[in-house]
Structure formats: structure tokens, C-alpha cells
Amino acid sequence: MNTNTIHTDLCIIGAGPVGLFAVFEAGLLKMRCHLIDALPQVGGQLSEIYPQKPIYDIPGYPEVKAQDLVDNLMEQAKPFQPTFTLGERVDYLNRQADGSFVVTTSDKTHVHAKVIIIAGGLGCFEPRKPVLTNLEQFEGKGINYMVKNPEHFRDKNVVIAGGGDSALDWSIYLAKVAKRVTLVHRNETFRGAPDSAAKVFDLANRGKIDLILSANLKEVTGNGKLEKVILEDKWKQDLSIDADHLIPLFGLSPKLGPIADWGLSIDKNAIEVDTRDYSTGVERIYAIGDINTYPGKLKLILCGFHEAAIMMHSAFKYVYPDQKLSFKYTTVNGVNAF
């Protein structure tokens, strides 16, 4: 084994919110973690794509910005002293004679771990782009696939296209920032959270945003920068909208990368797991968060948190094979405590 190899109990592939929370759950059970992520910073999609996006479904937070959630998760994990390899992709996984693994990254960093936890969100990802005349001409010149800084859109005419949670949430948020927000969706109903959809309809009814349903993006035009977005409605009529920015939010195209060659059971770019402990078909390898799939799967951050807590109790047996996981309760001033 390489003398510069990093040794840890658990190697977590993916330093997004679920990977970070997994550090906390591991720490409670006295297990050490090393995290690897291809991005140059922790936080996954939250930090890379929409750090200022409001999130509404985290328990205890009526609203929290994505980057604030990442910062809080890092603070929560801090007492357990996780270590990180960032800006490197995991390329190889080699099982050792004792059942443990050595992970090798694109920069030849070696990590020896007793357990592998894949928490890579959607793996490598890129935004799904609309089929749109002149699209490439205006990318970076008015067409944005993510919102990193909402202030960039202050007092601007913004067109958002999409029908999921991101499109709804950003329409609600940017209504307070932009000069005018127009939300375009090809259907009459939304895929996102019903409460968010209700808020969008309310904003439209009060004239705070423009809502155009049953319409598709057709073309973008401008002189050196975006000036107009052309839509086609359900009657095949064109509608021209003044726009400084177009934000198509049609989701991400996931790519598992080298993980797809690890002998795991893959279904539509997601890893199949046993819901009793979120183990994969390969012993000592678990998958949690958006990268896994099972009947009834919901791709929510809080579901990933739940999966992390459950799987850590299963991983414990590989880190401490001679110990039985148990908890003792004591009473402190009449209150039960560990």
C-alpha cells in the first residue's frame, strides 16, 4: 500500500449535504470520515449551482438558503474532524484481502477505508438544455442555467422556464428582486411542491409575476446580449417577451462516471439499495441521497439525512467487528440522556 495513503474508517464519495450530515452521524458512533468530491468546494449542487436558493423543507427551518445550510452542516460535523480531498474525481476502487478498500482519485490520491459510502447526489451532472433557436449564441450573455447570486438579476426582466421545485422557488424569490419575473411552463400544472405552486399562482393573481402556461420556449434574440424570448403557445402562436435574462430550469442530466463500473446494480443512473440499511449489492458499499433508488424513493435532502442515520448503524459492524452497537440511557435531572 502506498506510504502516502490516507487511512480512515469511512470514505464518503460526495461532499454535498447528505455526505456532510453522514459525517455527523458517523461521529456519534466514533467512526472517522474522509470525503472526496470532484468539485473544488463542499456543498455539492447547493454550493456549485444555487448557493442562494431558498430551501423550504428542512425541519426546523421555515426557510434557509442553500449555502447557509451547507455552512451549518460543516459546523455540525466540525467536532468530528473530517478530512477532505476536493477537486478530484474517484476513478478506481480496489478491494483488499481483509475486505476493506483503497480508493484512487484522478490525481492519484489513495484513501484506505473499511467502508465506502457513495453520497454523490446525481454523480457528475450538467444542466438539461432546451431545444431553442440561437441558444448557444446567448449562453453567458443572458442565458443562465443556475442562480449563484440573485443580486445579478436585480431590476432586470427575467424569464424562468420550468415546472419543478427550482423554477417555482426561484420565481417566488426573484419576484422580490427582479424588475419583472415571467414563469413559463409547458403544462397547466406543476411537478413541484403544491405549496410552492400555490404561492406562484397567488403571485400571478396579484400581478407580482407573469405566469404563462401551456407554452414552450422557441427562440431567443438580441444584439450581442439577450433582449427577447420568443414562446410558442398551445395554439402555435408566437409570443415575444422582453428579457434581460432567461433561466431554463429543466433539471440535471446525471452521469455516474467510473462508479458505474464497480459492479453495483444500476437503474436509470441510480444505484439500487436495500432499504433496511441502504447497502448496495457489494458488501461494505452503501449509497445514500439522490444517487440511490428504491421503491417509493423521494429525492429530498431530508430523506438523504434519514438514510445516512440508518446506514451508519449498519456500517458500524465493519469498523468495530468485535463490538455490539448499543445505547445506555441515564437520567439527568429527570431527563433521559445517552
Whether residue 305 is annotated as binding a ligand: the answer is no
Whether residue 201 is annotated as binding a ligand: the answer is no
Q: Dmax over Cα atoms in the chain, in whole Å?
A: 72
| Distant-in-sequence, close-in-space partners of 2: CB < 8 Å, separation ≥ 6 | 110
**Do 80 and 87 form a contact (C-beta atoms < 8 A)?**
no
Whether residue 91 is annotated as binding a ligand: the answer is no
Whether residue 90 is annotated as binding a ligand: the answer is yes
Whether residue 125 is annotated as binding a ligand: the answer is yes
Burial class (CB in 10 A: 0-12, 13-18, 19+), 140: exposed
Whether residue 331 is annotated as binding a ligand: the answer is yes
| Distant-in-sequence, close-in-space partners of 135: CB < 8 Å, separation ≥ 6 | 129, 143, 220
Whether residue 274 is annotated as binding a ligand: the answer is no
Binding residues: 37, 45, 50, 90, 125, 290, 331
Binding residues for FAD: 37, 45, 50, 90, 125, 290, 331
